[in-house]
Structure 1
Amino acid sequence: MLIDILILVAGLTILVFGANWLVEGASTVAAKLGVSAFTIGLTVVAFGTSMPEFVVNIMASFSGNSGLAIGNIVGSNTINILLVIGIAALIKPVGVKSSTVRIEVPFSLLAAAVLFFLANDMLLDGSDSSILSRIDGLILLSFLSIFLYYTFLSAKSDEHAPVSNVKIRKGYVTFLMIIGGISGLYFGGKLIVDSSVSIAKLFGVSDALIGLTVVAIGTSLPELVTSAVAAFKGNSDIAIGNVLGSNIFNVFMVLGISSIIRPLPFYPSANVDILVTCLASILLFIFALTGPGRMIDRKEGGLFVAIYVGYIIYLILTA
């Protein structure tokens, strides 16, 4: 028990340092290239913070554990909006650009909707079972290609202001910071998940509940820490871009590759979790559209966190 707690603390420490290095490195890259922090957040930072989900899902796919693979992604995406943006807004109100409201938030919602339609074979066409097939995986990867193409275009004509007042480091230092940050996020996240699962099992918590809560929370900690650090530093573009980019990468890339490796059986009970993710995306859209100055303020951030707490209570009661 004591060893697991020490490992958990070590994982959190590595995670914090990794998040800080990644934000610093990404901001430097944005400043050097003259592109916005938001675009960097949607690509470099989002991919880096999706690594824990990616590794967990690849392992789950090879072991045939589809429940963990799909639950991890759906749970993580819900956490990313309700908990990550919620806490970031509680630290400091988060600004949202108009193009984010028009395109990035709907794209994140689209990811959840596409997953719902591809996975629900029983519900939509009367099949005997539902499965996320290899063809579905290719479809998800095609959506990822569209998203990356849009990101490339937006980098050329982006309304988001380029990063300023950023310490410009030498190229190799920036590269090492990004690689070190991504590595820290991955290894820190893995230590946290492994130790949390061990602690949960000691208390007799079911594997299903562990997958929906501990694993999802553990793999979302990089997004939480990275966005919290970005919000604290006043870089709201990275805080929002990190979450939206990570959600899109999680569905289109992580689940796409996972289902290509091995088709993933889908259980209808997971639809509730997908609907919660959709609801969270819709609320984010409404708050960003109607809030003064397109801000997610502390009151709305608190509401996000409260909804997430209610969601966790629901999972515990229905596990």
Structure 2
Amino acid sequence: MLFISLLGGFLLLLLGGDLLVRGAVGVAKRFNVSPLLIGLTLVGFGTSTPELVTSLQAAAINSPGIAVGNVVGSNIANILLILGAAALIRPIAVDPAALRRDGGMLVIATAACAVAVLAGTLSRPAGGIFVAALIAYIVFTYMRERRQPDASAELHAHEAEAVTPPTNLPLAIGLTVAGLAMTIFGARLLVDGAVELARGFGISETIIGLTIVAVGTSLPELITSTMAAWRRQGDVALGNVIGSNIYNVLGILGITALVLPVPIPPEIARFDLWVMIAVTALLLLFAFTGRRLSRIEGAVLAGGYAAYLVALGSGITSA
């Protein structure tokens, strides 16, 4: 029953998130919303919906280790596991202009996350600041790319055009509602299964949140990024991961804190936060120095994720 709950939660999150994005994009296109804005908002936030709903569900049942670990673990997995796998499939070219803007915002979001985690609690004021910063970033990016279209603007528009939405408005609305319902129910199954797994095997909820839950809720990014690399669209993979990590911190932690303030598990402040900061810096170093992520760098990232899992399994986080 435990593993059925976990597997069912993963599948519902994956399918529900896909239906939600397709339906929302279909509704937006029917109202003539520009592909650029759709790519910046609906597609970007849509792939982070599993993390959002899962963190909200975990916070609601007083499981901060899953609520916060899900976001921190997802950001670590996005960089080390997902980008590492994508770069191993095919080296990823980097657009310097887009990397300067989005990479800069990722640094700001990561620093803000560090301040909030070290404060010991994700408070409502912090959540409000996070959400306001995300909205400001989206508005700034949209206005700039609309005035001066560049490769980054084309990338965001391509993200919207890559989604195949229904052309019928009632069907698009129906898919949106169904996707949201499946995501909510899937998150509940996943969180309940994760809590049961932690209690049954004597593993901390934080470790479960950082690993199983984090990777499970990152499945949309994993599929999108690896398929993009396979199709020689590495810039989509890189943009998807950087955007997802920004949304995870500012959007998911921000909204979760606004709904319900969350205490920070001490082990995340001691260890996992610093891992997230280190791998973010490593990604930007790789991307800026060679203007691409090579297969060797992909292997370093993927190997780093294996080392991270070993560290968690060895109990270093509780030292």
Task: State the TM-score, normalizing by the size of structure 2.
Answer: 0.77
More displaced stretch, 267-276 vs 281-290: 267-276
For the structure 1 residues 93 and 179, does the alpha-carbon distance in structure 2 shift closer, same or farther, using more than 3 Å as the test?
A: farther
The within-5 A match list for 1:132-147 is 132-147=122-137
User: Does the 8 A contact of 2:45 with 2:244 survive in 1?
Assistant: yes
Q: Which of 102, 108, 112 is the equivalent residue of 1:104?
A: 102
> Which stretch of structure 1 is more off in the superposition, 132-141 or 189-198?
189-198
Pick which of 263-272 and 102-111 moved more.
263-272
State the 1:80 CA deviation. 0.9
Q: Tell me which of 226, 236, 239 is aligned to 1:238.
A: 236
Aligned to 1:300: 297
- Structure 2 distance, partners of 1:117, 1:215, is 24
Q: 1:158 aligns with which of 141, 149, 172?
A: 149
Deviation (angstroms), 1:186? 7.4
Alpha-carbon shift at residue 59 of structure 1 (Å): 1.2
Equivalenced residues, count: 304
Q: Percent sequence identity over matched residues?
A: 37
Letter in 1 for 2:310: I
Classify 1:60/1:16 alpha carbon distance in 2 versus 1 (closer, same or farther; 3 Å). closer
> 2:85 maps to what in 1?
87
The answer for the alignment partner of 2:118 in structure 1 is: 120
Equivalent-residue separation in structure 2 for 1:244 and 1:86 (angstroms): 13
Matched, 1:317 2:308: no
User: Which ranges in structure 2 are unaligned for 5 or more consecutive residues?
Assistant: none
Decide whether the 8 Å contact of 1:133 with 1:264 is kept in 2: yes
Q: Distance in 2 between matches of 1:296 and 1:91?
A: 11
Q: Secondary structure at the match of 2:218?
A: helix
* Equivalent AA in structure 2 for residue 132 of structure 1: L
d(CA) in 1 for partners of 2:216, 2:90: 23
Cα RMSD, aligned residues only: 3.5
TM-score (norm 1): 0.77
Check the 8 A contact 1:62/1:261 in 2, yes or no. no
Instruction: Say whether the 8 Å CA contact 1:16–1:225 is kept in structure 2.
Output: no
- Are the counterparts in 2 of residues 78 and 277 from structure 1 also a CA contact under 8 Å? yes
AA matched with 1:207:
E
Distance 1:280-1:181 versus aligned 2 partners, 3 A rule = farther
Instruction: Quote the Cα distance in structure 2 between the aligned partners of 1:232 and 1:35.
Output: 23
Matches of 1:228 and 1:277, distance apart in 2: 21
CA distance change for structure 1 residues 211 and 22 in 2, over 3 Å: closer, same or farther?
closer
Distance 1:242 1:21, change over 3 A: farther
- Residues 197 and 67 from structure 1, CA distance in 2 versus in 1: closer, same or farther, beyond 3 angstroms? closer
2:254 is matched with 256
Partner Cα separation in structure 2 for residue 62 and residue 23 of structure 1: 25
Give the stretch that moved more between structures: 152-161 or 69-78. 152-161
Q: CA deviation at 1:27?
A: 11
C-alpha contact (below 8 Å) 1:41/1:238 kept by paired residues:
no
- One-letter amino acid of the structure 1 residue matched with residue 309 of structure 2: I
Q: Judging changes above 3 Å, is the alpha-carbon distance between structure 1 residues 296 and 188 closer, same or farther for their aligned structure 2 residues? A: farther
Instruction: Report the counterpart of residue 74 of structure 2 in structure 1.
Output: 76
